[in-house]
Structure 1
Amino acid sequence: MDPNAPAFDPDAAEFVPDGYDFAPAPAPVAAAPAPAPAAGGLFAASLAGKPATVDPHAARLAAMAAEFSKPAPAPAPAPAAAAPAPAAAAPAPAPTPAPAPAPTPAPAPAPAPAPKPAAAAPAPAPAAAAAAAASSAADADETSSSLTKEEVDAKLAECDPRDHVNVVFMGHVDAGKSTLSGNILFLTGMVDQRTIDKFTREAKAKNRESWFLAYIMDTDEQEREKGKTVEVGRAPFETENRRFTVLDAPGHKSFVPNMIQGASQADIGVLVISARKGEFEAGFDKGGQTREHAQLAKTLGVKELIVAVNKMDDPTVEWGEERFDEIKTALAPFLKQSGFSKKRIRYIPISGLTGANVKEPLASGVADWFSGPTLLQAFEDVKIPGRDPYSALRMPILDRFNERGTIAMGKVEAGILFEGQRIMVMPLRERCRVDKIFLDDETEISVAKPGENVRVRLKGVTDDDVMKGYVLCEPHAPVHAVTKFQAQLMLSNLDHKGIFTAGYKAIMHVHTADEEVSCDKIIAELNKKTGEVKGRVRFVRDGDLCTAVLSLTRRTCLEKYDDLQQLGRFTLRDEGRTIAVGKVIGLPKSELEG
């Protein structure tokens, strides 16, 4: 990202030009006889999408799309008597029990259907009656997980009353993120002394004596050998008032996509800065990851930032106030430009290696110039915005594995998850049931509220049905699964290609998904200096703000940013650099949504 460019703030006022419609897709994906949806709206016309050439489940998705593209295969043979008859005279649905699979009636022109084909149809054929009864039972079963507010409240009463908070540690390579994360786990009792002694011996054998605490988070042997975090380390700890999960993000620029994955799940960002002479400058100058990590964190939804000025005990610093102020003075204008509110940034001097000012306050005479909280106290003090347990369930899948059954791992972003609940895996529309729910520390729970990191054992699906980037939801309120959408984009770091135009390809990182995306067309550009909106532009440049139609190579679960931020904000990366951040502002009406 351009270190001098202002960061895109998803919460800022947007511009959405009216009257722009989505260009027709180049070719329909499946059966041509699909009736066209009602005209009107931003994405009104045919959006059947492209064939998913790289999707391992392409055949299943194509078959599913073909099935959904024929909601009313035989409207013509409707009985003549049903047309003029009043509603009470004939329950119209009887002639059309065959296409039962669609639980929500499509906008197909059915002849005045009654609310539900319950039971008493005017003597249909026995097979048709059985199919209708089975469909009705399936519908009832499918919606059985829809709870009233009172029922949700009763479920929430089973949960731990303490909030769960995800904390992502980010910053330049060698800033001390893994060591700090490991020490927090030790100081909060999550790691015993025997384990620390073991890691101390292992680190000494590798001539890396000071890395022993990092071994708590860096469990991979390659990470320990090279001293570089590759994957996002995850570990739980708790205090009296809150439960936390540490997300230890890699600092090397080669692993920025992994850092994005960690930051996208975070409630609090900890920007770890090395106070050691020369190390802060290396991370903050062009080419360092301090700037990019901070900018990405803000655009990925991190509003609360703690700047942990680490290695204050280093001989080049010796807890000097002058060095602390120097770092603070350099960072403050940059963080403001990146979109962070001054009131939501805290600067805390620490030593991740010794644990000074991490859990216990500094001893008298060490840094009497600092009167702020310890790092863990700051974690307690940060206000976490309210989460909505009453909305539709949304849980993006971060990983999956098999342990006495298929287990999906992820964070509940909205709604609640509970044992016995009937849910659906999107975009495959595979229905299943919640068998068991576990927290990161293997504690079994019966209900998971929003914000919880959980592992869910599922019944009724196989490992192949559950993939990273898929989303767990409820059958009666499915997440959107689309191949095209409208986005608002803030472009940056385009010096390698110069312009962004139709045909530009990149990798989109959204919630836990990484998907190939291309620009179909640019709808409009906003001149940030004058506020003027220009339509029909052919290209935009570095630093421009625009709206565009983007096309995905396979169906991806999205929500509009205004409906659910966690599934509506994303980044675009190309050739190892972040070239855009954006938010979903329009979803098609004729895509497979449920």
Structure 2
Amino acid sequence: MDIEEDIRSLQLDSAEENNGVANPEEEKPDEVENEDKMEEDPKEVRTVSQPVNPEPKVKHKEVSAPQDVEVEAEKGITKRHLNVVFIGHVDAGKSTTGGQILFLSGQVDDRTIQKYEKEAKDKSRESWYMAYIMDTNEEERVKGKTVEVGRAHFETETTRFTILDAPGHKSYVPNMISGASQADIGVLVISARKGEFETGYEKGGQTREHVMLAKTLGVSKLLIVVNKMDDHTVNWSKERYDEIESKMIPFLKSSGYNVKKDVQFLPISGLIGANMKTRIDKSICPWWNGPCLFEALDAIEIPSRDPKGPFRMPILDKFKDMGTVVMGKVESGSVGEGDSLLVMPNKAQVKVVAVYCDDDKVRCAGPGENLRVRLAGIEEEDILSGFVLSSVAKPIAAVTEFIAQLQILELLDNAIFTAGYKAVLHIHSVVEECEIVELIQQIDPKTKKPMKKKVLFVKNGAVVVCRVQVNNLICIEKFSDFPQLGRFTLRTEGKTVAVGKVTDLCAA
């Protein structure tokens, strides 16, 4: 375990992703703000076991119903694929922007848009009609709040994109974590409307927590779209845009982002589609000389993935459809029809019957793809979200204890962090109750070296190496081997209290 490693890696860049984060000495943990208090936290149906501090159930939804299109992609997958998570404070315009993208890219026709316009008008919510494309259930449409992680697809000339529309409300942060854990890049949507940016950015607003969680969950690149620039309180004002950018940059740096390399700002209007598919007209916004949203998405570069590595696909969901079908994002390796795999941690050997990418049946698929895989040899009720589809030759480890390096962000009521501390662990698609059973050593944030004195407890801002225990077997990897499966967050009572990385595994 390399305790000399840059503490900034706790905000969890892999070696490939870390393109120059801020100096840990400049770190300001107290700048990372979280919710003051959970608003009537809904009871969660546990993914693996019931936690002491339950969180809302993590949900996923397909914007268009999954279809088994029995036409194989003979030419294979040629375009690169990126998963884009839309994050930000509630009402910033994430669903509206996502819906507009689908409309502009031809995924939604005019007749459907007219139907949504009428439906929104009947609810006296005329400006919500674009959000209805992403918010598909009635609860979301009535309240105007995304609850589940919406999933949709669109293409540009060079790239296939999967949109993950994460909820912004603080009651559904676990769902946002689920969406961000599947993403390669993030689009942080910020409202330029007077008062709305301030509400999202101040203490208790979700803009700050979403940025911090995105970095923790491995979203290495951020596009920050300043939305609602057409609002009458803004009128495409350069002063308002510059004000938002100047306030966001210091916080982005403190969260571990290299602003020059990994972050890009641009103004848009999600409702009317301005500066999205084509660059905005100079008569409307004479000061903007940068790209439009589609161009910026196309230009983003991400680290290459290893299609020949051991196969790893955390399972997000499962259902019955002429057999058992599992859904998830491939984090490593490739999969094809006829392959023999293991479902971990129950070590069930299965055979791949069919592989579906988007709505198409394909012969094989590699890392980064969101797939539906039909399996033979296992029943749907024997699979839980958080299980991992894994190669037989090199299966993923299943453990109940591991060693981790943690950065404490903000404990509830300024509590102390010590052996016996309990929280809810979020790691890839696993949501599990955990307990800190031992504090091994504290790390000096200035020298990055372990302190000699024995550590009994730590407070906000501390970096500590500890042993973590869970009740049930979970599938994880060391961060140094698989960053996507070795980075995690700890939450309690609806608040993110720590972020960390797995440094070693204990034998089960």
TM-score by length of 2: 0.86
Amino acid aligned to 1:9: Q
The residue that corresponds to 1:431 in the other structure is 349
The residue that corresponds to 2:113 in the other structure is 196
Confirm or deny that 1:213 pairs with 2:215.
no
Confirm or deny that 1:576 pairs with 2:498.
no
CA-to-aligned-CA distance 1:5-61 (integer Å, 9 cap, x gap)? 989432489xxxxxxxxxxxxxxxxxxxxxxxxxxxxxxxxxxxxxxx9968xxxxx
For residues 225 and 333 of structure 1, the distance between their equivalents in structure 2, rounded to whole angstroms, comes to 37
Which residue of 197, 215, 234 maps to 1:317?
Answer: 234
Shift of 1:370: 0.8
The residue that corresponds to 1:97 in the other structure is none
Amino acid aligned to 1:445: V
The residue that corresponds to 1:9 in the other structure is 11
Gaps of 5+ in 1: 14-52, 57-155
Within 5 A, what are the aligned runs for 1:13-412?
159-342=76-259, 343-412=261-330
After superposition, the CA RMSD in angstroms is 2.0
For residues 413 and 329 of structure 1, the distance between their equivalents in structure 2, rounded to whole angstroms, comes to 35
The residue that corresponds to 1:498 in the other structure is 415
For residues 208 and 7 of structure 1, the distance between their equivalents in structure 2, rounded to whole angstroms, comes to 44
Confirm or deny that 1:558 pairs with 2:476.
yes
Within 5 A, what are the aligned runs for 1:502-581?
502-534=419-451, 536-581=454-499
CA-to-aligned-CA distance 1:135-169 (integer Å, 9 cap, x gap)? xxxxxxxxxxxxxxxxxxxxx99631211100000
CA-to-aligned-CA distance 1:316-360 (integer Å, 9 cap, x gap)? 110011100000010011101111112211111000000000101
For residues 476 and 224 of structure 1, the distance between their equivalents in structure 2, rounded to whole angstroms, comes to 47
Gaps of 5+ in 2: 1-6, 16-45, 50-72
Total equivalences in the alignment: 448
> Could you say what secondary structure the match of 2:316 adopts?
strand
> Could you say what secondary structure the match of 2:172 adopts?
helix
For residues 205 and 399 of structure 1, the distance between their equivalents in structure 2, rounded to whole angstroms, comes to 34
Sequence identity of aligned pairs in percent?
53
For residues 286 and 9 of structure 2, the distance between their equivalents in structure 1, rounded to whole angstroms, comes to 36
Contact kept, 8 Å, 1:412 with 1:452, in 2: the verdict is: yes
Contact kept, 8 Å, 1:423 with 1:472, in 2: the verdict is: yes
Confirm or deny that 1:448 pairs with 2:450.
no
TM-score by length of 1: 0.73
Contact kept, 8 Å, 2:418 with 2:439, in 1: the verdict is: yes
Contact kept, 8 Å, 2:47 with 2:432, in 1: the verdict is: no
For residues 375 and 514 of structure 1, the distance between their equivalents in structure 2, rounded to whole angstroms, comes to 33
For residues 560 and 358 of structure 1, the distance between their equivalents in structure 2, rounded to whole angstroms, comes to 39
CA-to-aligned-CA distance 1:280-324 (integer Å, 9 cap, x gap)? 000001010000000110111111111100000000110011100
Contact kept, 8 Å, 1:423 with 1:433, in 2: the verdict is: yes
For residues 395 and 531 of structure 1, the distance between their equivalents in structure 2, rounded to whole angstroms, comes to 34
The residue that corresponds to 1:461 in the other structure is 378
For residues 333 and 134 of structure 2, the distance between their equivalents in structure 1, rounded to whole angstroms, comes to 30
Contact kept, 8 Å, 1:502 with 1:519, in 2: the verdict is: yes
Contact kept, 8 Å, 2:419 with 2:438, in 1: the verdict is: yes
Amino acid aligned to 2:374: R
Amino acid aligned to 1:394: R
Q: Which structure has more strand as a fraction of its residues?
A: 2
For residues 343 and 215 of structure 2, the distance between their equivalents in structure 1, rounded to whole angstroms, comes to 29
Contact kept, 8 Å, 1:397 with 1:471, in 2: the verdict is: yes
> Could you say what secondary structure the match of 2:451 adopts?
strand
For residues 446 and 199 of structure 2, the distance between their equivalents in structure 1, rounded to whole angstroms, comes to 33
The residue that corresponds to 1:417 in the other structure is 335
For residues 47 and 254 of structure 2, the distance between their equivalents in structure 1, rounded to whole angstroms, comes to 39
For residues 84 and 13 of structure 2, the distance between their equivalents in structure 1, rounded to whole angstroms, comes to 21
Contact kept, 8 Å, 1:398 with 1:512, in 2: the verdict is: yes
CA-to-aligned-CA distance 1:439-473 (integer Å, 9 cap, x gap)? 23x11111111000011111111001222100001
For residues 477 and 238 of structure 2, the distance between their equivalents in structure 1, rounded to whole angstroms, comes to 46
Choose between structure 1 and 2 for higher RCO, CA contacts under 8 A separated by at least 6 residues.
Answer: 2
CA-to-aligned-CA distance 1:351-394 (integer Å, 9 cap, x gap)? 00000001011112111211110001100000011000111000
For residues 168 and 580 of structure 1, the distance between their equivalents in structure 2, rounded to whole angstroms, comes to 22
Runs of 4+ in structure 1 over 4 Å off: 53-56
For residues 537 and 481 of structure 1, the distance between their equivalents in structure 2, rounded to whole angstroms, comes to 29
For residues 484 and 280 of structure 2, the distance between their equivalents in structure 1, rounded to whole angstroms, comes to 37
Shift of 1:511: 0.4
Amino acid aligned to 1:172: H
Q: 528-537 vs 325-334, which deviates more?
A: 528-537
The residue that corresponds to 1:102 in the other structure is none
Contact kept, 8 Å, 2:10 with 2:405, in 1: the verdict is: no
> Could you say what secondary structure the match of 2:174 adopts?
helix
Larger radius of gyration: 1
The residue that corresponds to 1:585 in the other structure is 503
Cα distance change on mapping 1:354 and 1:396 into 2, 3 Å: same
Contact kept, 8 Å, 1:400 with 1:463, in 2: the verdict is: yes
Amino acid aligned to 1:292: E
CA-to-aligned-CA distance 1:504-530 (integer Å, 9 cap, x gap)? 111100001101110010000012134
Cα distance change on mapping 1:424 and 1:209 into 2, 3 Å: same
Cα distance change on mapping 1:54 and 1:307 into 2, 3 Å: closer
CA-to-aligned-CA distance 1:116-148 (integer Å, 9 cap, x gap)? xxxxxxxxxxxxxxxxxxxxxxxxxxxxxxxxx
For residues 115 and 156 of structure 2, the distance between their equivalents in structure 1, rounded to whole angstroms, comes to 26
CA-to-aligned-CA distance 1:160-192 (integer Å, 9 cap, x gap)? 121110000000000000000000001001111
